[in-house]
Amino acid sequence: MNFAFTEQQDAIRESVAKLSADLLAPRYRQRETDGRIEREIVEMLGEMGCLGGELPEEFGGSGLDCVTSGVIIEEIARGDFNVGYLPLLASLNGQIIAHHARPELAQEWLSGITAGQKICCIALTEPHGGSDAANLKLKASRQGEHFVLNGEKTSISMADQSDVAVVFARTGSQEQRAGGISAFLVPMDLDGITTSRFEDSGQQAIGRGSIFFDNVAVPADHMLGDEGQGFKQVMQGFDYSRALIGLQCLAVAQQSLDETWQWLTEREAFGQPLAAFQGLTHPLAEYQTFVQAARLQCYYALWLKDHDRPHTTEAAMCKWWGPKLAFDVVKQCLLAHGHTGYGEDLPFAQRLRDVMGLQIGDGTAQIMKNIIARQSVPR
- Block means of pLDDT (10 residues each) for the chain, length 379 residues? 91 97 96 96 96 92 94 98 97 93 94 96 87 81 96 96 96 75 96 96 95 98 89 80 97 98 92 91 97 98 95 96 98 95 94 95 91 91
Q: Is 307 exposed, middle or buried (0-12, 13-18, 19+ CB in 10 A)?
A: exposed
Q: Is the dihedral of CA 318, 46, 14, 284 positive or negative?
A: negative
Predicted local distance difference test score (pLDDT) of residue 37: 97
Model confidence over 182-240: pLDDT tens digits? 999 999 999 999 999 999 999 999 999 999 999 999 999 999 988 888 877 767 788 99
What does the alpha-carbon distance between residue 362 and residue 90 come to, in Å, rounded to a whole number?
15
Predicted local distance difference test score (pLDDT) of residue 1: 72
350: enclosing H helix or E strand: helix 348-356
Predicted local distance difference test score (pLDDT) of residue 334: 97
Predicted local distance difference test score (pLDDT) of residue 133: 65
| β-strand partners of 150 | 139
| Distances, alpha carbon 297 to alpha carbons 148, 255, 311, in Å | 42, 18, 11
All domains of the chain in start order, with CATH? 7-118 (1.10.540.10), 121-228 (2.40.110.10), 237-376 (1.20.140.10)
Q: What is the DSSP string of 170-209?
A: E-S-GGGGGGGEEEEEEETTSTTEEE-----SS-TTT-EE
How many other CB atoms are there within 10 angstroms of residue 286's CB atom? 12
Predicted local distance difference test score (pLDDT) of residue 78: 98
Predicted local distance difference test score (pLDDT) of residue 269: 84
Predicted local distance difference test score (pLDDT) of residue 130: 67
What does the alpha-carbon distance between residue 85 and residue 253 come to, in Å, rounded to a whole number?
16
